[in-house]
Amino acid sequence: MHLIIFGAPGVGKGTQAKIISKILMLKHISTGDILREEIKKNSEVGLKAKSYTEKGELVPDDIMGEMVKHAISSPEAANGFILDGYPRSVNQVNILNKILNELGISDIQIITLDADEEVLVERLTSRRQCSNCQSIVNLKSIEGENVCPVCGKENTLVKRKDDEEYVIRNRFQVYKETTKPVLDEYKNEYPILKITATKSIEEVTEDILQKISKQN
């Protein structure tokens, strides 16, 4: 089974990808994770990527494509994968299509997690990070604003810069301009499973699994 998961910032695609990968015994391929992994291993492609990240530059699409290909063709992905955070542009779609053709993979299913932008903005702007244990919490899910529910420390919950509303709005705009056209590329190629992501984590997981089972 081979899945690609899409969704706007804060919609929970990383969380769902991790859960689904464990339930279905698929390799969870997150571009952020594999980038850090290849750099840590000092692999050939990791060293290429490092030369860009050290300068604060985006890693070029062709290098990211190499890393994705390594992950997809690894023994851990023999049972399939769920691809999270890639592709994010039409150019990356073309690169991934070439990789999948080379590896003979055609049974792709697309999962899209949908939620109203205002709901997601409210969710993200309510996030706080504990300066002591680094846990991420949402103010709406805890009793007090000044106590971390994980480590119990007081006055440690701070708002990250990337959770400021203007930053979040900009991320949504980037998503609309670059990632949504990707779905247009796929809509006539693969099944697209649309999931409402405003439910609880458990309910969203169940909806995903039910729709996947109907396709298989």
Quote the crossing angle between the two packed helices 61-72 and 44-53, to the nearest 10°: 140
Among the listed residues 160, 169, 176, 180, the single catalytic one is 160
36 is catalytic: no
Helix axes 61-72, 31-41, angle to 10 degrees: 90
Q: What is the dihedral of CA 41, 50, 15, 154, to 10 degrees?
A: 100
Residue closest to 199 by CA, chosen among 14, 16, 3, 8: 16
Active-site annotation holder among 36, 48, 50, 88:
88
13 is catalytic: yes
Q: How far is CA 118 from CA 11, 41, 112, 184, in A?
A: 11, 40, 18, 23
Q: Which of 13, 27, 69, 128 is catalytic?
A: 13
Please confirm, yes or no, whether 187 is among the known catalytic residues: no
Residues 27, 69, 127, 128: which is the catalytic one? 127
- Per the annotation, the verdict on 127 as an active-site residue is yes
123 catalytic? Reply is no
Give the separation between CA 66 and CA 205, rounded to whole angstroms.
30
CB 191 within 8 A of CB 110: yes
The catalytic residue among 50, 171, 199, 211 is 171
Residue with tokens 């949908």: 114
Two tokens, residue 178:
């670059």
Catalytic residue annotation: 13, 88, 127, 160, 171
